Structure formats: structure tokens, C-alpha cells
Amino acid sequence: MIPFEELAVVTFHEARGARFRVAQAGRGPDIIWAPGGDSPASYWAEQFDFFHRDFRCTSFDPRGAGETTSAPPPWSMKQFGADCAAIVEAFCDPPVILAGLSMGALIVQQVAIDFPHLVRLAIPMGTAAKITGFTRDWMEAEIAARAGGALRMPADFAACHYAAFAYPARALADDALWARIKAAYTPRFAERDPEMLIAQWRPCLDYDVTEALGTCPVPIHAVAFSEDVQTPPRLVRKVAEAAMNGHYHELPGLGHVSLNRHDPGSVNACLARIVAEHG
């Protein structure tokens, strides 16, 4: 695998009152990778490595993460969607393929709804039309606990806490894989600004596009992971069912972030099949 820092060309782009860090690699039709909550562009390293030979891959640090700077929160998901659309218009030849995970998947859906002329295929993974049930209660509880800096997790505890939500039990039982996850997650969440986490998570909880998906003309292929604790397959299936042109895929044995470190090969193969179906 080519290291992300060697593969991607990084630049900065000012738009919509923010200065976005943008990463791009490869040539060909455009795929935009929308980052999940708390994640910079480099979280898509394994997808860049797989797809860059046939596609031009682009990602960016969203507001509240990485090296992007912007006006202070609150932000809305429509704002995140407009940010992504601005990146598409500045760096790509639309219409593009748009893929995202978690918060990035909500961004994908928002762009497809608000800017359908920019998107020829949308692939939201680990997603929801509206967050309900356990996922909602967990996110609300974390926001409440972190408000005003009331809760600050020790780095080693935070790594274990968020890894349990990201990976299936079989992955965490692999000592060698856990060592890699721990090495990445410990500094990542030790340095995470709780107010920025809240500023990203709150728009996710305010999000509801159940009706809007029904009039969105963009083909939407919603990808679920069978062992996903954060966004169980039930939530992902509802996206496919609500969409005008919706399709559902479920990958067995994978968790919310298995596309990173655990089993990117299975996820990349699924994405490649979906893209091939659309020419």
C-alpha cells in the first residue's frame, strides 16, 4: 500500500467562509470520499490506494476536523453538504461518484438531494435517513457528557471506547490488528476537541431526509455492515427503502469502520462492483 502522504497531493481551498484542506490522487472519472465524523481526508487512505489507478480520488477535512479552519459552529448538515458541493465544483468534473461513511454518508445524501446535477452515483455507507434508537441515545449521552468540557477521557480509555463502536468483536480479538488500531486511536482521540466533536455530532442528530430521499433522482446504493453497532443495518436499509432509486447492500462480518485497517478489501470490492454497474 502506498502511504497516503506519498500518494495524495494536498492543497487548501477557500469557500463558504472556510479554508478546506483537500487531498487528491489519480486520474480518470471522479470519486469524492466524504469523511465521517472526527475524520480527516487521510481516513480514506486504503480507498485512495485501491481506486486511484482508474479514478481521480478526492477527499477533504470537513469543518471541525483535521486542518480545515472555518467560522465557529453551530453548523448544519445542509452546510456540510454545500461544503462538499463546493469541493466538487472546484476540483472535479461533475457529475461525480460520491461515497461516504457515517457523517460522511449523511453528507453524501445531502449533496445528492440538494445538488443532484453534481452526482451521478451516491454510495452512503453506515448511514441513516434519521438516527433513532440506541445510536441516538448513545450520541445524545456523549454530547451531554462532553458539553462544556465536563468529560475528558484518558487517551487509552478513549481508544478502547471508540474502537468498540468501530470494529466487530472478531477484529478486536486479533491482537496484531488491535495493536494497529490502538496505535492510531490513542493519539487521535487524546487530541480531539470535545466542542468540535459536539459541533459535528449535533447536525447528525438533527438530520432527517426520509421524505427528501423520495424525490431525489440520483441512484443511491446504501451499504450496511452486519456487525455495525453505530448504524445497524436496519437504519441503512431504511435509506434504500426511502430513496426514489435506492439499492441495499449488506456485507457480513464487518463493523462500522471495517473499511479501514480491518477488511478494506471486502469493502473496496463491493464499491467496485457498484461503480461497475453504473458504467
Asked whether 71 and 5 are in contact (CB, 8 A), the reply is no
User: Closest by alpha carbon to 216, among 237, 189, 246, 190?
Assistant: 246
Mean pLDDT of 17-35: 97
pLDDT at 149: 67
Q: Please check the confidence at residue 270 and state whether its pLDDT lies above 90.
A: yes
Please indicate, yes or no, if residue 168 is contained in any of the structural domains.
Answer: no
Mean pLDDT of 253-257: 98
What is the identity of the amino acid at 205?
L
pLDDT at 150: 65
Q: Please check the confidence at residue 152 and state whether its pLDDT lies above 80.
A: no
Greater model confidence, 193 or 176: 176
Please indicate, yes or no, if residue 163 is contained in any of the structural domains.
Answer: no
CATH code for position 228: 3.40.50.1820
Asked whether 90 and 58 are in contact (CB, 8 A), the reply is no
pLDDT at 194: 84
Number of domains comprising the chain? 1
Please indicate, yes or no, if residue 270 is contained in any of the structural domains.
Answer: yes
Model confidence at 217, in pLDDT bands (50, 70, 90)? very high
What is the identity of the amino acid at 86?
A
For residue range 99-140, list pLDDT tens digits in order. Answer: 999 999 999 999 999 999 999 999 999 999 999 999 999 999
Cis peptide before 74 (omega within 30 of 0): yes
pLDDT above 70 covers a percentage of the chain that reads 99
Rounded to whole angstroms, what are the CA distances from 167 to 65, 122, 158, 225? 21, 24, 14, 10
pLDDT at 21: 97
Instruction: Give the domain extent around 101.
Output: 4-131+207-277
Please indicate, yes or no, if residue 43 is contained in any of the structural domains.
Answer: yes
Asked whether 227 and 165 are in contact (CB, 8 A), the reply is no
Please indicate, yes or no, if residue 94 is contained in any of the structural domains.
Answer: yes
Please indicate, yes or no, if residue 249 is contained in any of the structural domains.
Answer: yes
Mean pLDDT of 133-148: 91
Please indicate, yes or no, if residue 179 is contained in any of the structural domains.
Answer: no
- DSSP code string of the chain: ---HHHH-EEEEEEETTEEEEEEEE--SSEEEEE--TT--GGGGHHHHHHHTTTSEEEEEPPTTSTT-EESPSP--HHHHHHHHHHHHHHHS-SSEEEEEETHHHHHHHHHHHH-GGGEEEEEEES--SB--HHHHHHHHHHHHHHGGG-----HHHHHHHHHHHHS-HHHHT-HHHHHHHHHHHHHHHHS--HHHHHHHHHHHHT-B-TTGGGG--S-EEEEEETT-SSS-HHHHHHHHHHSTTEEEEEETT--TTTTTTT-HHHHHHHHHHHHHHT-
pLDDT at 175: 97
Please indicate, yes or no, if residue 24 is contained in any of the structural domains.
Answer: yes
